[in-house]
Amino acid sequence: MSLEQKIENLSAVIEKLIAVIEAGGAAPTVKETPAAPLAAPVSVTPTNPAPSVQTAPAAPQAAPAPAPTPMPTPPVFAPVAAPEVVQAMSEQKAPFDDAKGLVDYVMKAYREMGPAKGANIQKVLVLAGYQNINDVKPEHYYEVWTGIEKLRTA
C-alpha cells in the first residue's frame, strides 16, 4: 500500500468520524489494515536523482505552549565606599593621641556616666577588638572615642 493510498484512507475515516461526532452518535470502529513492508532505501547519486514525493496537507498545529514565567529582577546592592572616603575616615583623630590620654578620657567618661551606664564602655572596647584599655592601639583611638561619645549622648 502506498503512502498516498494510506493518506486517502485516513482522510476518509476522519471525514466519517467528523460526521458522526457532529450527528452526536458513537464513533464507528475502524478496522486496521496490516502495514505494508518498508521499501529498500533509495540512494541518491548524481546519476540517480531523488524521487519526487507528494506530501499531504499539513495537519493543524497544537496551541503553542504558554510562555515561561520571566526571571525575577536581580537584587541591587549598595555601592561600596570609595577609597578616599575610607581614607578620610581613618584620618579622623580622637581628642587624645597617646595611651595616657585615652585612659584619662575613659575614666572621665565613666565618672560622668556613672557605674550603670559606664559599664557599657567595656562593650565599646570589645567591639573595637580589645579586652583591656591598655591594649588599644593608636589607630583605634578614634573608634573607641566615637563609641564612648555615643554612650555619653544616649
pTM over 0.75: no
Q: Are the CB atoms for 147 and 128 separated by under 8 Å?
A: yes
Q: In which residue are the cell numbers 555601592 written?
A: 79
Displacement of CA 33 from its chain's centroid (Å):
55
* pLDDT above 80 for 142: yes
User: What element of type H or E holds 143?
Assistant: helix 141-153
* pLDDT above 60 for 4: yes
Q: Can you give the pLDDT at residue 106?
A: 92
13-17, 89-93, 106-110, 117-121: least confident range: 89-93
The band of 154, judged by pLDDT with boundaries at 50, 70 and 90, is: confident
Q: CA separation (Å) from 1 to 16, 38, 44, 127?
A: 21, 10, 23, 90
Cα distance from N-terminal residue to C-terminal residue, the chain: 97
Mean pLDDT (the chain, rounded): 78
Q: What is the pLDDT of residues 58-89, one digit of tens each?
A: 666 666 777 777 878 887 777 766 556 555 55
* pLDDT above 90 for 14: yes
Domain boundaries, the chain: 1-38, 93-153
Question: 74 or 29, which is more confident?
Answer: 74
Q: In which residue are the cell numbers 581613618 written?
A: 90
Q: Can you give the pLDDT at residue 107?
A: 93
Q: Are the CB atoms for 139 and 90 separated by under 8 Å?
A: yes
What is the share, in percent, of the chain residues with pLDDT greater than 90? Answer: 39
C-alpha cell recorded at residue 40: 529498500
* pLDDT above 90 for 111: yes
